Copies of this chain bind each other. A is one copy, B any other.
Protein backbone atom coordinates (compact mmCIF):
# COMPACT_ATOMS: atom_id res chain seq x y z
CA UNK A 1 0.00 0.00 0.00
CA UNK A 2 1.42 3.36 -1.11
CA UNK A 3 0.52 6.40 0.98
CA UNK A 4 1.19 10.12 0.56
CA UNK A 5 1.47 11.84 3.93
CA UNK A 6 1.02 15.61 4.00
CA UNK A 7 2.07 18.00 6.74
CA UNK A 8 0.03 20.96 5.47
CA UNK A 9 1.40 24.50 5.54
CA UNK A 10 1.35 27.57 3.36
CA UNK A 11 5.07 28.39 3.71
CA UNK A 12 6.36 24.82 3.94
CA UNK A 13 4.27 21.75 3.13
CA UNK A 14 5.85 18.37 3.86
CA UNK A 15 5.14 15.60 1.34
CA UNK A 16 6.21 12.05 2.13
CA UNK A 17 5.42 8.92 0.13
CA UNK A 18 5.95 5.47 1.63
CA UNK A 19 5.20 1.89 0.64
CA UNK A 20 3.91 -0.43 3.33
CA UNK A 21 4.48 -4.14 2.92
CA UNK A 22 3.38 -7.03 5.09
CA UNK A 23 4.60 -7.23 8.68
CA UNK A 24 4.92 -3.48 9.13
CA UNK A 25 7.80 -3.13 6.71
CA UNK A 26 7.87 0.44 5.39
CA UNK A 27 10.04 1.80 2.59
CA UNK A 28 10.65 5.36 1.52
CA UNK A 29 9.45 6.27 -1.98
CA UNK A 30 9.83 10.04 -1.98
CA UNK A 31 10.05 12.95 0.38
CA UNK A 32 10.05 16.67 -0.33
CA UNK A 33 8.98 19.99 1.08
CA UNK A 34 6.89 22.25 -1.16
CA UNK A 35 7.47 25.92 -0.46
CA UNK A 36 5.85 29.21 -1.28
CA UNK A 37 7.17 32.73 -0.91
CA UNK A 38 5.66 34.63 2.02
CA UNK A 39 5.85 37.82 -0.09
CA UNK A 40 3.48 36.43 -2.72
CA UNK A 41 -0.26 36.81 -2.31
CA UNK A 42 -2.23 33.89 -0.91
CA UNK A 43 -3.76 32.60 -4.19
CA UNK A 44 -0.28 32.40 -5.78
CA UNK A 45 1.06 30.64 -2.69
CA UNK A 46 -1.80 28.12 -2.71
CA UNK A 47 -1.13 27.41 -6.39
CA UNK A 48 2.60 26.88 -5.80
CA UNK A 49 1.89 24.28 -3.12
CA UNK A 50 -1.00 22.70 -5.08
CA UNK A 51 1.23 22.29 -8.14
CA UNK A 52 3.84 20.46 -6.04
CA UNK A 53 1.24 18.21 -4.41
CA UNK A 54 -0.30 17.29 -7.76
CA UNK A 55 3.14 16.58 -9.21
CA UNK A 56 3.81 14.09 -6.40
CA UNK A 57 0.35 12.51 -6.83
CA UNK A 58 0.87 12.12 -10.57
CA UNK A 59 4.44 10.88 -10.34
CA UNK A 60 4.15 8.42 -7.44
CA UNK A 61 0.45 7.46 -7.69
CA UNK A 62 -0.27 6.79 -4.02
CA UNK A 63 -3.41 4.80 -3.18
CA UNK A 64 -4.33 7.04 -0.26
CA UNK A 65 -3.58 10.48 1.13
CA UNK A 66 -3.15 11.12 4.86
CA UNK A 67 -3.18 14.62 6.29
CA UNK A 68 -2.60 16.21 9.62
CA UNK A 69 -5.93 17.40 10.96
CA UNK A 70 -5.99 21.16 11.52
CA UNK A 71 -7.59 22.61 14.59
CA UNK A 72 -8.92 26.14 14.89
CA UNK A 73 -7.34 26.30 18.36
CA UNK A 74 -3.83 26.14 16.90
CA UNK A 75 -1.61 29.15 16.23
CA UNK A 76 -4.09 31.69 14.90
CA UNK A 77 -1.57 33.40 12.61
CA UNK A 78 -0.89 30.25 10.58
CA UNK A 79 -4.05 28.20 11.01
CA UNK A 80 -5.99 29.83 8.19
CA UNK A 81 -3.23 29.19 5.63
CA UNK A 82 -2.90 25.63 6.89
CA UNK A 83 -6.65 25.06 6.55
CA UNK A 84 -6.61 26.53 3.04
CA UNK A 85 -3.78 24.19 2.01
CA UNK A 86 -5.64 21.25 3.55
CA UNK A 87 -8.67 22.10 1.44
CA UNK A 88 -6.58 22.27 -1.71
CA UNK A 89 -4.86 18.93 -0.96
CA UNK A 90 -8.13 17.18 -0.10
CA UNK A 91 -9.69 18.43 -3.33
CA UNK A 92 -6.71 17.19 -5.39
CA UNK A 93 -7.04 13.74 -3.76
CA UNK A 94 -10.81 13.63 -4.19
CA UNK A 95 -10.56 14.53 -7.86
CA UNK A 96 -8.15 11.62 -8.36
CA UNK A 97 -10.53 9.27 -6.55
CA UNK A 98 -8.13 8.79 -3.64
CA UNK A 99 -9.36 8.22 -0.09
CA UNK A 100 -8.28 10.89 2.41
CA UNK A 101 -7.58 10.17 6.08
CA UNK A 102 -7.02 12.77 8.78
CA UNK A 103 -4.91 12.27 11.88
CA UNK A 104 -4.30 14.46 14.88
CA UNK A 105 -0.66 15.20 15.73
CA UNK A 106 -0.92 13.03 18.84
CA UNK A 107 -2.32 10.09 16.85
CA UNK A 108 0.65 10.35 14.50
CA UNK A 109 3.17 10.60 17.34
CA UNK A 110 1.58 7.65 19.13
CA UNK A 111 1.62 5.55 15.96
CA UNK A 112 5.29 6.22 15.24
CA UNK A 113 6.84 6.50 18.70
CA UNK A 114 4.28 4.92 21.01
CA UNK A 115 3.75 8.24 22.81
CA UNK A 116 1.23 10.87 21.81
CA UNK A 117 3.37 13.53 23.46
CA UNK A 118 6.70 12.67 21.77
CA UNK A 119 8.86 15.59 20.66
CA UNK A 120 9.83 16.42 17.07
CA UNK A 121 13.29 14.94 17.61
CA UNK A 122 11.87 11.61 18.73
CA UNK A 123 9.41 11.44 15.84
CA UNK A 124 12.20 12.21 13.37
CA UNK A 125 14.47 9.59 14.90
CA UNK A 126 11.77 6.91 14.70
CA UNK A 127 10.87 7.83 11.12
CA UNK A 128 14.54 7.43 10.16
CA UNK A 129 14.78 4.10 11.96
CA UNK A 130 11.54 2.70 10.50
CA UNK A 131 12.56 3.68 6.97
CA UNK A 132 16.15 2.50 7.42
CA UNK A 133 17.57 5.97 6.79
CA UNK A 134 21.01 6.93 8.04
CA UNK A 135 19.79 10.39 9.03
CA UNK A 136 16.64 12.05 10.22
CA UNK A 137 14.67 13.58 7.32
CA UNK A 138 14.94 17.37 7.38
CA UNK A 139 13.33 19.83 7.79
CA UNK A 140 10.82 18.71 10.43
CA UNK A 141 7.98 19.11 7.90
CA UNK A 142 9.52 16.29 5.83
CA UNK A 143 9.81 13.98 8.84
CA UNK A 144 6.27 14.86 9.94
CA UNK A 145 4.85 14.11 6.48
CA UNK A 146 6.54 10.69 6.52
CA UNK A 147 5.27 10.03 10.06
CA UNK A 148 1.71 10.78 8.91
CA UNK A 149 2.12 8.44 5.93
CA UNK A 150 3.50 5.69 8.19
CA UNK A 151 0.66 6.15 10.71
CA UNK A 152 -1.87 5.70 7.95
CA UNK A 153 -0.09 2.82 6.26
CA UNK A 154 -0.08 0.94 9.53
CA UNK A 155 -3.63 1.73 10.40
CA UNK A 156 -5.15 1.36 6.97
CA UNK A 157 -2.81 -1.23 5.50
CA UNK A 158 -1.49 -4.39 7.11
CA UNK A 159 -3.12 -4.79 10.51
CA UNK A 160 -0.66 -4.82 13.40
CA UNK A 161 0.21 -8.38 14.38
CA UNK A 162 2.93 -8.72 16.98
CA UNK A 163 3.81 -12.27 15.91
CA UNK A 164 4.88 -11.00 12.51
CA UNK A 165 6.74 -7.96 13.81
CA UNK A 166 10.18 -8.49 12.46
CA UNK A 167 12.39 -5.66 13.64
CA UNK A 168 13.08 -4.24 17.05
CA UNK A 169 11.38 -0.96 16.12
CA UNK A 170 8.33 -2.76 14.83
CA UNK A 171 8.09 -4.88 17.95
CA UNK A 172 8.35 -1.81 20.13
CA UNK A 173 5.72 -0.05 18.11
CA UNK A 174 3.24 -2.89 18.57
CA UNK A 175 3.85 -2.84 22.32
CA UNK A 176 3.52 0.93 22.49
CA UNK A 177 0.32 0.82 20.51
CA UNK A 178 -1.14 -1.73 22.89
CA UNK A 179 -0.10 0.36 25.87
CA UNK A 180 -1.65 3.45 24.28
CA UNK A 181 -4.89 1.54 23.76
CA UNK A 182 -4.95 0.48 27.40
CA UNK A 183 -4.34 4.08 28.50
CA UNK A 184 -6.90 5.44 26.04
Contact = CB atoms under 8 A, between A and B. Distances in A.
Interface string A28-42: 000000000000011
Copies of this chain, tallied across the complex:
2
Interface in A108-136: none
Point out which of A87, A88, A91, A95 has the most chain B C-beta atoms below 10 A from its C-beta: A87
Nearest to A90: B43
Contact of A91 (B41, B47, B79, B80): B47
Given A87-B85, A88-B87, A43 B94 contact: yes
A79 B76 CA distance: 12
Contacts of A50: 91
A95 B47 contact: yes
Nearest to A65: B43
Interface string A71-106: 111001001100111111011011100001000000
A159 interface: no
Contact of A88 (B42, B73, B91): B91
A47 B94 contact: yes
A46 B73 CA distance: 22
A22 interface: no
Interface of A: 41-44, 46-47, 50, 70-73, 76, 79-80, 83-88, 90-91, 93-95, 100
12 contacts: A43-B90, A44-B94, A46-B90, A47-B91, A72-B76, A79-B83, A83-B84, A83-B87, A84-B87, A86-B87, A87-B88, A88-B88
